[in-house]
Amino acid sequence: GPPALLTSKPSTPGDYAAVRQSIAGVLDNNDYDDGSYGPVLVRLAWHASGTYAKKDGSGGSNGATMRFAPECEWAANAGLAVARKLLEPVKAAHPWISYADLWTLAGVVAIEEMGGPVVPWRPGRSDAPDGAKIVPDGRLPDAKQGAKHLRDIFGRMGFDDKDIVALSGAHTLGRCHPDRSGFSGPWTNAPTTFSNLYFQELLNNKWVPKKWDGPLQYEDAKTQSLMMLPSDMALLSDRTFKKYVNQYAKDEEAFFKDFAVAFSKLLELGVPFPAAAAKA
């Protein structure tokens, strides 16, 4: 389990370095998945933020409304209780931080600890009370759909084609769980290292429909150990998306740079920062 000393060390309000240290302290666990909670923490930060709609400013990470029903019960959020529970001792050690700041910071720390880029992050989110208005279900992407759906979903948040491909590179991390999404398996052979391997695997394998009882997903023809969702395959079949896939497969530095900018923006959507606040 997590080292109790690290997570229980109290801190003074505003000591985000102490919170970062506590988050880093709960990441590794050899009994869980591929040995790290990092990927599921990244997914929590993304799903907390990815409900945003630019047109009316609704949704986003501010409020941390996934603590409550119905949002915590959405099919898209299945499995994220694992991530929220993991962060409870961190919250208990640093009760001054909001859940909304903690969940987004945890995604940022996880990416950094897994070898990814430094993602600009600043505090300023507050927690909404239970009963606060929650956006309707259906704002997170559906893995069964293709390019048009990706543009609809991410366009609603204010992202363009390049952002969509860069953000999708997060699937270099983690895996699908049959008891969470119904899909199964990892996208890469290094699911706890942040890298551009997702784009390389996407390009360099022959992907064939997996023969099984589950929903349509693809497997690499050679080893049958890696997977792609139909929504991942859309990055190959759409010309504009594929242009960025090619670029990021060749140039990890470009991927890290574009990912850091897009992920930081994602985590800040709808957050009412004071006008003069600078990024930490």
Shortest distance in whole angstroms from residue 263 CB to ligand DDH: 6
Is residue 150 within the footprint of ligand DDH (CB under 6 A)? yes
Note the Cα 166 to chain centre separation in Å: 12
- Name the residue nearer to ligand DDH (CB basis): 19 or 80: 80
Which residues face 28 on adjacent strands? 36
Q: Report which residue type is found at 29.
A: N
Is residue 173 a contact partner of residue 42, using CB atoms and an 8 Å limit? yes
Least distance CB 119 / ligand DDH (angstroms): 10
Shortest approach of ligand DDH to residue 170 CB, angstroms? 3
**What residues between 93 and 132 interact with ligand DDH by CB under 6 A?**
none
Distance from first CA to last CA of the chain, Å, rounded? Answer: 30
Q: Which residues pair with 175 in a beta bridge?
A: 186
- Give me the least distance between CB of 4 and ligand DDH, in Å please: 24
Reply yes or no on whether 171 is catalytic.
no
Site for ligand DDH (CB under 6 A): how many residues?
24
CA distance 200 to 152: 26
Cα three-residue angle 255-28-34, rounded to 5 degrees = 70
Q: How far is the CB of 59 from ligand DDH (least distance, A)?
A: 15
Q: Which of 47, 74, 94, 207 is catalytic?
A: 47
Would you say 93 or 191 has its CB closer to ligand DDH?
Answer: 191
- Among candidate residues 46, 74, 121, 187, the one labeled active-site is 187
**Range 158-217, binding ligand DDH (CB under 6 A):** 167-168, 170-171, 173-177, 180-181, 183
Measured between alpha carbons, how far is 204 from 52 in angstroms, rounded to an integer? 34
- CB burial of 42-59 (b: ≥16 within 10 Å; e: otherwise) equals bbbbbbbbbbbbeeeeeb
Q: Cβ distance 153 to 141 under 8 Å? A: yes
Give the footprint of ligand DDH on residues 229-268 (CB under 6 A): 229, 231, 263
Residue numbers annotated as active site: 47, 187
- Footprint of ligand DDH (CB under 6 A): 39-40, 42-43, 46, 79, 141, 143, 150, 167-168, 170-171, 173-177, 180-181, 183, 229, 231, 263
